[in-house]
Chains A and B, each alone.
Chain A
């Protein structure tokens, strides 16, 4: 089973600061997804990256997929209190689960943005 390591595990910053969260694996993934989860709710998809080296932007969030498709990063510019939550990366393990594969989740980065 492939593993995804996320860092840092916890991050507490002030409003307006920038931050980067990392998701690393020794295995190649066909795609990587980033989800955000708020307390008492299920994860919600933010973005999917498929091509090595791909960069996607979602307002103040920038997602990058590594050239070798083994790692990904999430960069938030000028963080706001509304960005607070658990950020999870997930990779599709196509060795299991049929054509869709099974999503393997990292342990997440718990972000707290203070006003």
Chain B
């Protein structure tokens, strides 16, 4: 069974803290994605990766960075968390070029105080 797991379901951090969100997939997928989901805005792409050590900016990369040191793991980093980064963060993965389906993790609800 296809599985994407995220390290935390809920996270509370303080403004200015460095935050790490981890995502692991067990399907040997080439592509991995980080989205944030906000009411009325849908899913917005933050960063994505096609291969190990490779990353590309999505639509809203400001304030975020990513790391992909191993194929199965994709980390989202908030260098200095701010209150406007309070959101639901979703990780997804998919097979390589041409395939459409993305498989999502359950999400991490991050609150920045």
**A and B associate in one complex:** no
Seen from chain B, the residues whose Cβ lies within 8 Å of a Cβ on chain A are none
Seen from chain A, the residues whose Cβ lies within 8 Å of a Cβ on chain B are none
